[in-house]
Structure 1
């Protein structure tokens, strides 16, 4: 089972047990957080795509640590003008382990209801 989650302006494809690095979220190490912006949920039977979000779908993750990412260097230069600027930046990130993906149960229940209606 997998899901596509939106957080920090980016989208991540996650499955249970995956470890991902996302932009800083509130929460201490060891705490559990819920990601509500689920764009798609899928399993072996098929996928469910939201419009834009899947209703009732949630991804629960455990915060492993809060840290800073590797340093990037921003260098600006204008040739022949003696203009040079060098700045470094380290983005704060949160490392998460996905523990549970909820939302496929509603899909299975809806499929059973349509099968029962077709049988009658």
Structure 2
């Protein structure tokens, strides 16, 4: 696995990062949040949920992974994205909130068309 500079892990719940996964600059893995409280204090009781980053996944710079999210193996999360729900394996996600942009092919497959993933559309 590769973890670049400035990443943040709050570790309030288990965090699993798979083999060969890569995290770009300043990625945040946030396992804690708060339940909605009453009007007098909206940030209610703490709530922690685990995060899993699958094998070979690539999380772009300054992406944020929210509590309870599972990022599938071989998945790419574009820089600056905020991931609030599970991401399927071998797929590209981007945006706020992150949404599926396209499925990714295996570059070692000679029958597949290949485009270099530099930026998410």
Shorter chain as normaliser: what TM range?
Answer: under 0.3
More helix by share: 1
**What TM-score results when the alignment is normalised by the length of structure 2?**
0.25
Q: Which structure's CA Rg is the greater one?
A: 1
More strand by share: 1
- Which of 1 and 2 has higher RCO (CA within 8 Å, sep 6+)? 1
**What TM-score results when the alignment is normalised by the length of structure 1?**
0.25
